[in-house]
Structure 1
């Protein structure tokens, strides 16, 4: 392991830290019990003596390696953007699992290749004709992966169709999700991307955060399932899917426990199946438990929702909601021959969608943007990202990217690669403004809204979090007490400690950076 702390200033000038740096580090190494229970809210500077470098080195290293964190594998790279110099490193070039900090890579590449104003487009066609307020034929909807379509959007479509004089549809509502990554690649045998990411954990697939992606997406491809207790102990629990059209088939293995037993509900759904197994128990008399679960087929879910929206607005649909994959090849060709456009919907720009993606760490948004790269440039998304990163000087020995969200265990990044991207985005004025707006602000919003309270980082640090089993990460920006801009990337892997201890150490580390100051004495 290597760990070095480079001074932010010349050796001729003393290194200054606010009093908070020592406290912040001591909190993470278990010494806070002898001090105030909260971070001091002071900006009074204290000058360390000539051995400051060694002292700070020791303190930061103790933060990272003290019990119970001694088995944690760290990758850290901190740089001063203002002075173009490294501040602290710890295994900066070690490939580690980044979790959701990978979204920084997805957004960086998309913003440069597609542009911040790029928009998803979804179009509605018909293969029939309109006569006396009746559409004789099918409605065919084609999308490019817009992850933001909700009930309001579908309702507006229904209203626009009525304004065009369509009060009845004699045919089906067909979802055409056959978007490919390009005909040249199709001829060479390269398949379109699957709905699920490579390397996603099978036991995540039932949950809303691992929803499948596709060209047609509605309500983030998630529905809510409600679990209620039975009337007596050992009675089956009650299960209800709160949104129609999910395609899920509930397999009820959940029972009712006694009032004194804690409720524990488990969900399981294998890839490419619609059976959602609900097991565990819920306490007698307990309030309902609601869980967000992923739908089985995004296209079917979409067209069912569109069918419902049309009916709700008074457009009678005589046919069914159909995924085009359910039709024979002849039926598919017939349904999509001689199409006429009825309406086109554009999403908000990437700059707006990215705010939701980053602050909420919304995986479906990230996967949709990632896949759009492949669709737009007729190549696999992974190949596009790899090529762009290489152009930026980041080779595969520093970044291996296989999905857009960071859910895959096949993703590997070095801390130095992440910091390279952060510095690159910050140094371009328009990128800086738009990218900073997507990051969570410490103690204020997003995934950092409940972190860094009463520290120098509160309202100061802007960063993307990352979290999965035995992985915690944080990457972004923080200013020192002098207002000097730092970029940092912190990856923690393979720890056996309580994740809360790891997060505490990461937060203490960033708060220590926020208290650093250049003194002129």
Structure 2
């Protein structure tokens, strides 16, 4: 009993100390003091020497884009896990290699002649990796896009398909996940599989609604599709009991188990789960939409990898071509909202553009030329995915600042900078540095992974000077909120930088 009380007291005072430091940072943010270079260095040294991070490792670099001088450095050449800051490399390369006006094309092809409203053969969907078949980019309902396709076929006089609906996903390889990804997390929405054909970011939405006490809860999925099998085991409990729901999907399976309890009269519980096999998932939903629109289909919804017959490419003819939004809008989604799925799709698209096969390896290989141009040795860093999920990624603050400097001097800086979250305004920084002097002056990509936090981008000082900076933190054990406050306070100091 004494030991339990002692542990409780230690935890209480530790947490109390942390929040006291956070409060002091909030107060510091209200003070506007101009710092010359030496004063700024002292302030930043003080911030990054916070005792709460004695067991952690900070890597920092700040550079003036006006003069090229290094204003501050701390372990700037050490390789650290950058978390989602790896997206800076993915999106910079996309602007550089694909161009801001690049668009994906997805084509519906007929494998047979059309007679009296009947396609005498298969309908083939040829994908190129378009990640935008989502609710956000399809008017709030991703199925609306497939309904448009159905209407187009009907307008062309096609009312029946005497064959299969086949997804041709051969533009990408079959490695759906990044190197070093944790298999235990593959059912999570943030690590959904990549694919040349995808729908709804390859996730489904699960809604659990309470009913009467001791009765099963109502469970719905969206999109509502037969591709996913639900194993529901959630019961409604009395108001005094807390809600506790567990949702899992077995590896290489689309059986989703939902178990636990939900409190009577409580709000609807919402969660998201990734699916397995994006191509078959997409084709199943497409077939269901077509049939609901009145198009009769005699065959099944399958991936081309499961199709036994050989398809003669020269015999195919297009029925419809869908063109995506432009690359700039896609990159905005990646950087503003740290969209892992979009980033993985984009990395593979870069590989497809340069080496005719979309794979993470080809995408990273294509990045090497950009790294050389940015004076970053490709052999001096480790990049294995496009999103930063993998803990195998290793990058230094100096390398990130070199990339940011390259984009400023030679890249599509206007659109690249505009894609980054803005402090206190939007994206992942919407709630950070608000109501401080730094609000609206920090344009940076945040990142988070297991015991890793990062923030890198550009800062416009009060004197109008533009800085490139990178702050990487590894091996911390305190709440992430405190890491954010340390980063934010450092940014506020940088905003107040003035030249001697």
- TM-score by length of structure 2 reads 0.87
Secondary structure of the residue aligned to 2:171 is coil
CA RMSD of aligned residues (A): 2.6
1:352 matched residue in structure 2:
329
Checking the alignment, whether the CA contact within 8 Å between 1:127 and 1:337 is kept in structure 2 is no
Q: Does 2:294 match 1:304?
A: no
Q: Does 2:365 match 1:383?
A: yes
Shift of the alpha carbon at 1:71?
1.6
Distance 1:316 1:30, change over 3 A: same
Q: Does 2:254 match 1:274?
A: yes
1:115 matched residue in structure 2:
99
Shift of the alpha carbon at 1:32?
7.3
Instruction: Show the 5 A alignment for 1:134-173.
Output: 134-149=118-133, 150-173=142-165
- Aligned with residue 463 of structure 1, among 444, 448, 451: 444
Shift of the alpha carbon at 1:499?
0.8
Checking the alignment, whether the CA contact within 8 Å between 1:203 and 1:269 is kept in structure 2 is no
1:82 matched residue in structure 2:
66
Aligned equivalents of 2:475 and 2:25: distance in 1? 31
| 1:252-303: CA deviation from partner (whole Å, max 9, x where unpaired) | 4555555333323333334422233334443344222111111222112211
Shift of the alpha carbon at 1:223?
1.2
Moved more, 487-496 or 319-328: 319-328
Aligned equivalents of 2:471 and 2:63: distance in 1? 12
Shift of the alpha carbon at 1:338?
2.0
Aligned equivalents of 2:495 and 2:109: distance in 1? 55
More helix by share: 2
Checking the alignment, whether the CA contact within 8 Å between 1:373 and 1:381 is kept in structure 2 is yes
- Aligned with residue 302 of structure 2, among 313, 322, 331: 322
Secondary structure of the residue aligned to 2:90 is helix
2:139 matched residue in structure 1:
none
Aligned equivalents of 1:221 and 1:75: distance in 2? 35
Shift of the alpha carbon at 1:170?
2.3
Checking the alignment, whether the CA contact within 8 Å between 1:80 and 1:87 is kept in structure 2 is yes
2:10 matched residue in structure 1:
none
| 1:178-216: CA deviation from partner (whole Å, max 9, x where unpaired) | 225xxxxxxxxxxx2511111112232222211111011
Instruction: Show the 5 A alignment for 1:190-339.
Output: 192-229=173-210, 231-232=212-213, 237-245=217-225, 247-252=227-232, 254-328=234-308, 331=309, 333-334=310-311, 338-339=315-316
Distance 1:130 1:31, change over 3 A: closer
Secondary structure of the residue aligned to 2:51 is coil
The number of residue pairs the alignment matches comes to 471
Q: Does 2:330 match 1:340?
A: no
Shift of the alpha carbon at 1:96?
0.9
Aligned equivalents of 2:111 and 2:25: distance in 1? 74
Where do 5+ consecutive residues of structure 2 fail to align?
Answer: 1-16, 134-141
| 1:51-79: CA deviation from partner (whole Å, max 9, x where unpaired) | x83x5444322312223222221111110
Where do 5+ consecutive residues of structure 1 fail to align?
Answer: 1-26, 181-191
Distance 1:123 1:451, change over 3 A: same
Moved more, 270-279 or 113-122: 270-279
1:409 matched residue in structure 2:
391
Moved more, 108-117 or 266-275: 266-275
Distance 1:389 1:270, change over 3 A: farther
Checking the alignment, whether the CA contact within 8 Å between 2:348 and 2:363 is kept in structure 1 is yes
